[in-house]
Structure 1
Amino acid sequence: MDRTILHAARDVAVSAVKAAGDITKHRFATYHQCEDKGVFGDVVTEVDHLAEQVIVEAIGHTFPEHLIRSEEAGQLGKESDWLWLVDPLDGTNNYVIGLPVFAVSITLLFKEEPVLGVIYEPMTDRLYISFKDEGFFCNGVQMQMKKKPQLQLQRATLGWIQGHLVQHDEQAVQLRQHLDLKCKRMLRVWAPTLVWCMLAKGDAEAIVLYNSEGEDLYSGVLMVQEAGGHVMDFQGRPFQGMCEEPYLIACHPDYKEEWLQIVKQGLRA
């Protein structure tokens, strides 16, 4: 992997997420069009498309030989070892009800391994960057996941992420209820990238993800991994690469066995 490409990609991605973020912030509460996307409650606005256009054009101009997969536009460009994943407005459902919890996310993968993640939270002006093997940064400050003296579930904040197609799947509902009763607080933010960043910063103790793959997944996974966190599947195997139907647990590595057992208990309940 050419690290020169990686660092040039960072500059493009940072510029693009900030430009897209400015659009989302400026149009917040003033957008004009909102349409249903699918039959399970997802939505899209003209802001998604405007932000996406800025990002896709920036990437395509600098890296015309790379493949781009963007949430609204789909797949663009040629087959390549380099794949860009773009979520121009992660948290559109929040956006349309006036809840200022959303982000812009770009991920670059090389041979299906995430190598660069850039997430921008425009309402708080927080810029998160992660490089493969180079760390996790928030507004230029390198950060490591905090380790608490012991795992105390009654004080734990847990992020729950599920795919739109999951809906009221019986096993998902059972697991979600089990986790909700075990922990102090379960977050269902509907802006997954921000939940991953919370975990990477140490503002949450764990994430349980139930079959949610998309353009918003891999930037967050890389953030947590580069902050020193552990990401595994429901069998306890380390998560790497890409997966069409991921079932994941992310947490501090010292507590991976405890969280794995809690999830397994919920699946058996």
Structure 2
Amino acid sequence: MQDKISLATEVAIKAVVEAGNLAKEYFFKEKEIVEKGEDGDVVTIVDHLAEKIILQSILAHFPDDQIRSEETGWSGNESDWLWLVDPLDGTNNYAIGLPVYGVSVTLIYKKEPVLGVIYDSHLGDLYVAQKDKGATLNGKPLSIGKNLKKTNKMTVGWIQGHLVQKDEKAMSLKHELDIEFKRVLRLWAPTLLWCMLARGDIDGIFLFNSEGDDLYSGILIAKEAGASIVDFNGGDFEGMNPEPYIIACHPEHKHSFINLVKQTLKLS
């Protein structure tokens, strides 16, 4: 198993760097932007070109694995091994010329993330995590570090699914976070938000029902860097969940963040 994960790491790193560099090359070119769905999302030519690079690389080395990718959906035969691919995380940023976008590849084994690779395409930063083996940034160990800030001096991230829209509970929680914290950051490139948490540059993430191909790489990298990842009731978040509600933060703040969510949403 470890031999496969080691090879998968090499393959994923090479593919995300190539895809990310292509995205940066196209950044100031015509992107052929097309609306995607009814919720304001968009797709560009780069999404498709970058996806092709990654899928071809995975299939060349692991033809028996299953893949779920942002643009092409499911492919391959059902397997214990599942690849999740987001070839351009932050497409809405990319489309308006905001240089906050990346590439995400996750390898899942029996519904448990075992490898996460994220490439910050514009900055050229590479994040890698293997389950129980820690996380790295450009090959150096990555740690969330210590965090002794008071709540009113913290910056936290907010992630919500496309279908959440103006959900009453979501808006209630977001409003409470705006009151409690110094800043609530909605980056529109979730994988890079998870990387910010792993670096210790933000103090937490609140995720409201946002499952997708960009989720589990970020969770694994943050977790391996030392973050606590729990659901809204305070239970450890493990495996995969089609409707996740997540709190991620430094372990020292876990209980206070859980209590904030429970009180706001009136959870038992």
Q: Normalised by the size of structure 1, how large is the TM-score?
A: 0.97
Contact conserved, 1:179 with 1:263, CA < 8 A, in 2?
A: no
Q: How far 1:140 sits from its partner (Å)?
A: 0.5
Q: What residue identity is the alignment partner of 1:165? A: L
Aligned with 1:86: secondary structure? strand
Match of 1:74 in 2: 73
In structure 2, relative to structure 1, the CA distance for the partners of 1:221 and 1:32 (3 Å cut) is closer
Residue type at the aligned position of 1:249: I
Find the aligned partners of 2:178 and 2:100 in 1 and give their Cα distance. 21
Q: Distance in 2 between matches of 1:56 and 1:127?
A: 19
User: Which residue number in structure 2 is paired with residue 180 of structure 1?
Assistant: 178
State the alpha-carbon separation in 2 of the partners of residues 261 and 146 from structure 1: 23
Aligned residue in 1 for 2:204: 206
Determine which of 221, 244, 247 is the counterpart of 1:246: 244
Residues in 2 aligned to 1:145 and 1:190: alpha-carbon distance in whole angstroms = 22
SS of equivalent residue, structure 2 residue 264: helix
Q: Corresponding residue for 2:87?
A: 88
CA distance in 1, matches of 2:263, 2:154: 17
Q: List gaps (5 residues or longer) in structure 2.
A: none
Note the C-alpha offset of 1:31.
2.8
In 2, the alpha carbon distance for the partners of 1:47 and 1:248 equals 30
Report the Cα distance in structure 1 between the residues aligned to 2:217 and 2:19, rounded to whole angstroms: 17
3-state SS, counterpart of residue 11 of structure 1: helix
Identity %: 53
Equivalenced residue count is 267
In structure 2, distance between residues paired with 1:90 and 1:265 = 32
Runs of 4+ in structure 1 off by over 2 angstroms are none
**Structure 1: distance between partners of 2:30 and 2:102:** 16
In structure 2, give the amino acid aligned to 1:167.
Answer: Q
Q: Deviations over 1:180-226 (max 9, x none)?
A: 11101110000000000000110011000000000000000001110
Shift of 1:157: 0.6
Q: Match for residue 140 of structure 1?
A: 139
- Give how far 1:268 is off: 3.7
Kept in 2, the 8 Å contact 1:179–1:266? The answer is no
Q: Which residue of 2 aligns with 1:112?
A: 111
In the other structure, the counterpart of 2:25 is 26
